[in-house]
Chains A and B, each alone.
Chain A
Amino acid sequence: MAHAAAVNRPPERGLDVYTQKVGMWVFLCSEVMFFAGLIGSYIVLRFGALENTWPEPAEVLAVNITAFNTFLLICSSVTMVKAFAAAQAHDDQGIKKWLLATTLIGAGFLGVQVYEYNELINHHFTPSNCVVVRNGVEETCSILYGSTFYTMTGFHGFHVLLGVICLGWATIRAYRGHWSGGNSRGIEILGLYWHFVDLVWIILFTIVYLI
């Protein structure tokens, strides 16, 4: 590597990916560890609990409603992909339409989650209280069930909320023409985040609601 006398050398090649995207990837690694901490604790606590104190999900949670919510979130990932494709294709109308759709569906997810929390709390299922009805009799269950449930889904919801805020902002910018002319990077990065949040939800839905 000597005698490199070239004068105008290009910058050292990094990952051949633009900086903002690398940044988002790196940030998502950190997010993975955050949710790994929460989910890992859930697993340890659940398997450390004595038999019959940890209720079956369906005994406490309305799985059907949440399944619908999961479907919503997956749809929003699809619309997010459409928004990015539109941005790349210089399709200004498409950008507006799909970003708006993604924002609204994301907000819809949050709405359903708020409704779900409200219902659960009305049935005395809170972070510090757990009640199941078995054969018409109310029984207490491990309060860790509520502790972990609200912490995990709550932090996911918080991430959705942040996403919806950013999406709303991106939508407003779309109506101002910010993303026209192939300026798709911002949408791509937001998309990465949004898909991540979606993926986390699929994992959470599986381990909290299904298993």
Chain B
Amino acid sequence: MATAIAEPTGRAVIEEAHPQSFLRKYLFSTDHKVIAAQFLFYTLFFLMIGGLLAVLMRQQIAWPTEPLTLGGILPETMVAKATDGAYMLPEFYNALVTMHGSVMVFLAIMPMLVGVWANFLIPLQLGAHDMAFPRLNMLSFWTMVPAGILTLASFFVVGGAAGAGWTLYAPLSARPDLTGVEMGQILWLIALVFVGLSSILGSVNYITTVINMRAPGMTWFRMPLTVWALFITAILGLLAMPVLSAAGIMLIFDQTIGTSFFIPSNAAGDALSGQPLLWQHLFWFFGHPEVYILILPAMGFTSEILAVGSRKPVFGYKAMVWALISIAFLGFIVWGHHMFQSGMNPALGLAFTVSTLFIAVPSAIKTFNWMGTMWRGNLQLHSAMLFAVGFVAMFAIGGLSGVFMASTPVDIYIHDTYFIVAHIHYVLFGGSLFALFGAIYFWFPKMFGRMMNETLGKIHFWLTLVLFNVVFFPMHGVGMAGMMRRIYDWTGYQHLEGIGATNQIITIAAVGLFASGFLFAFNFFWSIWKGEKAPDNPWGASTLEWSVPSPPKHGNWSEIPVVYHGPHEYSHPDVTDKDWLGQNERPDVVTPAAGSH
């Protein structure tokens, strides 16, 4: 094989000189910062859609036998209209359950963690002019667009949107005759294939950029933890998404061209039959790494914001990196823990319990290191920091509740109950979304050149924290009482008699939580136009992106910076004029070799 040194980077700088048309600049831009912003608007929109679906669903759960408020404006395919109001149909409820999960995971949280921040931060934090493959990067955004359109369209086709759950368990998902959903399911699966393609294109880009385009001096263990997290996430996406794509395509074939990968041909299970459990194995082989795709970047943002907000280096940087790597590795060998009660050989359950419980170890390491970062710090409680601290506090709950289901005997009882719903939301909302809000408050000035309003930001934080806990903490209790997931009406069950009031409180708080999102949205859009002009480095942060103007110009640097220090150097005793030390300044100051202590 021919060897060559890394590509000289200079193209982006040349491009900068050309004036660009509006279309090239904002719509079909290859600038990683513009693409990141496109992803941000896209994902915020779908975050709102996902939230709306959740609120509708919650109303049905709280008052299962009563008509929907404003149900009259919904079409007949979603509600049954009676004289005293419009009642939600079970098919619409199933669609809500399915599409809330699907939209949040695939169109909101995942692309917001990766599409937005991997794009924005990797080149800026590594000191590169742009991504390795800018045009591929643009393509990865534009493949998300049809996914979004198909998803929205699926609500209005005959039969409504997909209704077999976001996990798409076959044969329910594969046989339209058993759900009444035909087109909606296929549209969603096609959307999923687009999401997979986008994610793979993105991952190729991020991985290549991290491997080959680091600025001089930016050694592996001088990379900011955000970049580490996004890098590992990209590897997970690269290896997990294609398996989902393959499975999704097989499921499409089951529905359209008469194959039977996942459909047993009859109840007796004769020789011709496909295997429903094969779907689950494929789905969760993807699905568990996906869980980490959804949390690792959040861990990266949190580590970074906590260091900046505490004015201290990240406690145990190397331990943090190794914890990320081991979580990612373990993520590929634990998928069976979603299937303890699935009919899978119980002996396999043993192996999956052990590997699953071991994920608690790196998670604990991370949590304690975050606390170590705050310890003896000089805490600056701006909105971004509040959300980062909130992440640690909420992720801890989500992590701890995970121990219950990892213990197989306990999982027998809590599997498929609201306990699981509580758990996943503590991880995905209390975890991922808190960190995402933190990241938006933190990097907004760099992205748009203006500051977000701090007062509104703090109000948003406290509203979110309180309402989030009022919504999701009681779900542990409802789950303990035995409430099954995804039920349209629980009133027929004797063991669920006592949960009505709790469910109503949850729903009321959920509406408030949804509404508090609009406070954020107002702050966000208002600040884009009217926010205070942002300085280059509003938080006194040490990573490279803060050494360029806010927002950085096309190509980021006129000259590639040289890196001398680790990524999170705060309150260094030899630096007296300020309490931070940029990665690319003061080569004379001695900082510890990457992460040793």
In the complex, is A directly touching B at CB under 8 Å? yes
Residue positions of A touching B, CB distance < 8 A? 1-7, 9-20, 22-23, 26-27, 29-31, 33-38, 40-41, 44-45, 48-53, 88, 126-129, 140, 142-144, 146-148, 150-151, 155, 184, 188
In the bound complex, how far is the Cα of B250 from the Cα of A5, in angstroms?
57
B residues 225-262 near A (Cβ < 8 Å) are 238-243, 245-247, 249-250, 253, 257-261
Chain B residue contacts of A37, Cβ below 8 A: 242-243, 245-247, 282, 285
For B261, B588, B594, the residue with the greatest tally of chain A CB atoms inside 10 Å of its CB is B261
A41 touches B278 (CB 8 A): yes
B2 touches A88 (CB 8 A): yes
Chain B residue contacts of A151, Cβ below 8 A: 249-250, 253, 259
Chain B residue contacts of A188, Cβ below 8 A: 2
Q: 9 interchain pairs (CB within 8 A)?
A: A9-B217, A11-B214, A12-B215, A23-B133, A23-B205, A26-B208, A29-B239, A144-B274, A151-B249
Minimum CB–CB distance for A133 against chain B, Å: 18
Q: Which residue of A lies closest to B9 (CB)?
A: A11
For A7, A37, A52, A184, the residue with the greatest tally of chain B CB atoms inside 10 Å of its CB is A37
Q: Which residue of A lies closest to B261 (CB)?
A: A147
B7 touches A41 (CB 8 A): no
Chain A residue contacts of B132, Cβ below 8 A: 19, 22-23
In the bound complex, how far is the Cα of B35 from the Cα of A143, in angstroms?
45
- Beyond the given A9-B562, A14-B213, A128-B257, please list 8 additional residue pairs across the A-B interface where CB-CB is below 8 A: A6-B562, A34-B245, A41-B282, A49-B271, A129-B258, A147-B274, A151-B249, A151-B250
Of the candidates A3, A16, A30, A140, which one forms a contact with B238 in the assembled complex, judged by CB atoms under 8 Å apart? Answer: A30
In the bound complex, how far is the Cα of B565 from the Cα of A2, in angstroms?
8
B residues 181-220 near A (Cβ < 8 Å) are 200, 203-205, 207-208, 211-219
A23 touches B217 (CB 8 A): no
In the bound complex, how far is the Cα of B510 from the Cα of A147, in angstroms?
45
Residue positions of B touching A, CB distance < 8 A? 1-7, 9, 132-133, 136, 200, 203-205, 207-208, 211-219, 238-243, 245-247, 249-250, 253, 257-261, 270-272, 274-275, 278, 281-282, 285, 560, 562, 564, 587-591, 593-594
In the bound complex, how far is the Cα of B140 from the Cα of A45, in angstroms?
33
A11 touches B6 (CB 8 A): yes
Q: Given known contacts A3-B587, A30-B200, is B257 in contact with A127 (CB within 8 Å)?
A: yes
Chain B residue contacts of A34, Cβ below 8 A: 242-243, 245-246
Q: Which residue of B lies closest to A150 (CB)?
A: B259
B212 touches A7 (CB 8 A): no
A50 touches B271 (CB 8 A): yes
B216 touches A10 (CB 8 A): yes
Chain B residue contacts of A50, Cβ below 8 A: 270-271
Chain B residue contacts of A3, Cβ below 8 A: 587-588, 590
Of the candidates B4, B216, B257, B562, which one forms a contact with A17 in the assembled complex, judged by CB atoms under 8 Å apart? Answer: B4
Chain A residue contacts of B240, Cβ below 8 A: 33
Of the candidates A45, A88, A140, which one forms a contact with B275 in the assembled complex, judged by CB atoms under 8 Å apart? Answer: A45
Of the candidates A9, A15, A49, which one forms a contact with B216 in the assembled complex, judged by CB atoms under 8 Å apart? Answer: A9
Chain B residue contacts of A51, Cβ below 8 A: 271
A33 touches B239 (CB 8 A): yes
B238 touches A29 (CB 8 A): yes
Chain A residue contacts of B5, Cβ below 8 A: 10, 13, 16, 18
Chain B residue contacts of A6, Cβ below 8 A: 562
In the bound complex, how far is the Cα of B249 from the Cα of A37, in angstroms?
11
In the bound complex, how far is the Cα of B587 from the Cα of A134, in angstroms?
80
A18 touches B6 (CB 8 A): yes
In the bound complex, how far is the Cα of B39 from the Cα of A37, in angstroms?
29
A5 touches B213 (CB 8 A): no
Chain B residue contacts of A16, Cβ below 8 A: 3-6
Minimum CB–CB distance for B566 against chain A, Å: 9
B588 touches A45 (CB 8 A): no
For B5, B208, B274, the residue with the greatest tally of chain A CB atoms inside 10 Å of its CB is B208
Chain B residue contacts of A48, Cβ below 8 A: 275
In the bound complex, how far is the Cα of B529 from the Cα of A78, in angstroms?
59
Minimum CB–CB distance for B37 against chain A, Å: 24
Q: Given known contacts A30-B238, A30-B242, is B4 in contact with A53 (CB within 8 Å)?
A: no
Q: Which residue of B lies closest to A31 (CB)?
A: B242
A13 touches B6 (CB 8 A): yes
A12 touches B214 (CB 8 A): yes
Q: Given known contacts A19-B208, A41-B250, A151-B259, is B217 in contact with A4 (CB within 8 Å)?
A: yes
Minimum CB–CB distance for A148 against chain B, Å: 8
Report, nearest first, the 10 A-B pairs whose CB atoms are least far apart: A128-B258, A37-B246, A50-B271, A14-B212, A147-B259, A9-B216, A34-B242, A12-B214, A53-B271, A2-B590
A33 touches B278 (CB 8 A): no
B239 touches A11 (CB 8 A): no
Chain B residue contacts of A150, Cβ below 8 A: 259
A27 touches B214 (CB 8 A): no
Q: Which residue of A lies closest to B560 (CB)?
A: A11
A14 touches B211 (CB 8 A): yes
B253 touches A127 (CB 8 A): yes
Chain B residue contacts of A88, Cβ below 8 A: 2
A143 touches B562 (CB 8 A): no
B7 touches A4 (CB 8 A): no
Q: Which residue of A lies closest to B265 (CB)?
A: A143
In the bound complex, how far is the Cα of B565 from the Cα of A38, in angstroms?
46
Q: Which residue of A lies closest to B246 (CB)?
A: A37
In the bound complex, how far is the Cα of B379 from the Cα of A25, in angstroms?
44
Chain A residue contacts of B214, Cβ below 8 A: 11-12, 14
Chain B residue contacts of A12, Cβ below 8 A: 214-219
Q: Which residue of A lies closest to B217 (CB)?
A: A9
In the bound complex, how far is the Cα of B216 from the Cα of A6, in angstroms?
10
Q: Which residue of B lies closest to A6 (CB)?
A: B562
In the bound complex, how far is the Cα of B203 from the Cα of A126, in angstroms?
36
B212 touches A127 (CB 8 A): no
Chain B residue contacts of A38, Cβ below 8 A: 246, 250
Q: Given known contacts A23-B208, A127-B258, is B133 in contact with A41 (CB within 8 Å)?
A: no
Q: Which residue of B lies closest to A129 (CB)?
A: B258
